Amino acid sequence: MGSRASGLAPLPLSIFIIARNEADRIGATIRAVRDLTDDLVVVDSGSTDGTQALAASLGARVIHNPWPGYGPQKRFAEEQCRHVWLLNLDADEVVPPDLAAEIRALLAAGEPSRPAWRIGIAEVFPGEGRPHPWAYTLTPVRLYRKDRGRYAPSPVHDRVALEPGVKPGRLRGIIHHFSVRSLGDQLDKLNRYSDQQADDLEARGVVIPSWRVFVELPGNFLKAYLGRRHVLRGTYGFLTAMNYAMSRHLRIAKHYERRRRAATGPDRVDPPDPTF
C-alpha cells in the first residue's frame, strides 16, 4: 500500500470496493482507509474515466470483472481478498477518522467478540460537509469474517448473508455516503436501477398487483420525505425525495408494462376506445 501517513501497522483486514466510472469520488474513499490495510481491492467493471489508474496510484489492487450484478460482483470481490476479515465500501462512501479509529481498535485488540458488525451509512447531499445530525441511516453488515458470511447472489440487492445464528454487533461510527453527484445524475442512475429491478422481478417470477401503479409514487415520496427525514434537508431534500419516489414508480411501471406485453403480445395494437 506504499507509505503510511499514520505510521501505524496495517490490520489483518482486506477492504474491497466495486466501481465503474468513479474517478471523481473513489479517491476520497481509498485515502480514508488505505492505512488500515495492506490489501485494498478495487473490482472495476469497465471504467472509461481513469478510475483504474487512479485507484492503482493510491495503492489499490485493481481487478477487472465484467458487470454481473451487485451481489455477484461483491462475491467476486470477496474471493480476491487475502484476509479473512473484510470491510466493504462503495466507491462513493467515505470512512471518517472516528470510524477508522474504531475499526482499528476493534481489530488490533485481537479477535473481535462477534464475527460481523453493522455500520451506519448516512447520505451527504451536495453542499453538505457531513450528514445531517438527524439523517436517515441504513445499518447493513459491512465488516465481517468471510468464513461466517458472504454477499448474497442477488443482482439487485447487495447484502451480506450471515451463517445461521450469527448475531452482528454495531459500530458507533457512521460511513458518509456521497451518493448524489447531481439531481439529473441521480435520476439517470435510479432509472437504470429500475430496469435491473424489473429484470429481477421477471426472473424470479414475482407478480406485483397492478393497483400498486397508482400508489407507488405518492407512497414512496412520503416514505423518503417524512420516513427517511429528507424534510430536514430543505428544498434539496424535497427534490431527492421526488427522485426516489419516481424511481420506485418506474420499477412498478416497467414491471406492469412487461406483464402487459406478455399477455397481449408485442405486435398487438389495442383498438381505440369508442368513448373518446
Domain CATH number, residue 19: 3.90.550.10
Are 150 and 24 within one domain?
Answer: yes
Please indicate whether residue 56 or residue 194 has the higher confidence score (pLDDT). 56
State the Cα–Cα distance between residues 195 and 198, nearest whole angstrom: 5
The number of distinct structural domains making up the chain is 2
107 and 215 share a domain?
no
User: Does 273 map to a domain?
Assistant: no
Phi-psi region of 117 (alpha: psi -120 to 50; beta: other; left: phi over 0): beta
Question: What whole-number distance in Å separates Cα of residue 70 and Cα of residue 189?
Answer: 14
Identify whether residues 133 and 30 lie together within a single domain. Answer: yes
Q: Are residues 225 and 172 in the same domain?
A: no
- N residues, the chain: 276
**Nearest residue to 16 via CA among 165, 167, 160:** 160
Instruction: Identify whether residues 112 and 39 lie together within a single domain.
Output: yes
Q: Of 122-126, 127-131, 265-269, 272-276, where does mean pLDDT reach its minimum? A: 272-276
Mean pLDDT of the chain: 92
Contacts 24+ apart (CB under 8 A), 159-163: 159/71, 160/88, 160/116, 162/115, 162/116
> 117: which strand partners?
143, 169
Q: Return the minimum-mean-pLDDT range out of 5-9, 181-185, 193-197.
A: 5-9
Please answer whether residues 150 and 160 qualify as being in contact, where contact means their C-beta atoms are separated by less than 8 angstroms: yes
Taking the CA atoms of residue 149, residue 37, residue 62 and residue 117 in that order, the dihedral angle to the nearest 10 degrees is 20
Which SS3 state, helix, strand or coil, does residue 244 take? helix
Residues spanned by the domain of 38 = 13-177
Mean pLDDT of 234-250: 94
pLDDT the model gives residue 3: 44
Q: Are 206 and 154 in contact (CB under 8 A)?
A: no
Same domain, 147 and 188: no
Q: Could you report the per-residue pLDDT of 203-219, keeping only the tens digit for each? A: 888 899 999 999 999 99
For residue 19, is it within any domain? yes
Closest CA to 61 of 42, 48, 80, 77: 42
Residue ending a domain, choose from 152, 177, 202: 177
Answer yes or no: do 201 and 89 share one domain. no
pLDDT at 25: 97
What is the reported pLDDT for 268? Answer: 54
Mean pLDDT across 110-123 = 96
For residues 110 and 223, membership in a common domain is answered with no
Checking if the pLDDT of 134 tops 80, the result is yes
- pLDDT value, residue 6: 66
Could you identify the residue written with the cell 428544498? 235
Name the band, by pLDDT with cuts 50, 70 and 90, for residue 5. low
Q: Do both 31 and 152 map to the same domain?
A: yes
Q: What is the pLDDT of residue 186?
A: 86
SS3 130: coil
Instruction: State which H helix or E strand residue 231 sits in.
Output: none
108 and 68 within one domain: yes
pLDDT at 4: 59
Residues 128 and 77 in one domain: yes
Going by C-alpha positions, the residue among 75, 68, 90 that lies closest to residue 196 is 68
Report residue 110's pLDDT band, with 50, 70 and 90 as the boundaries: very high
* Distance, CA of 29 to CA of 3 (rounded, Å): 17
Inside any domain, residue 172: yes
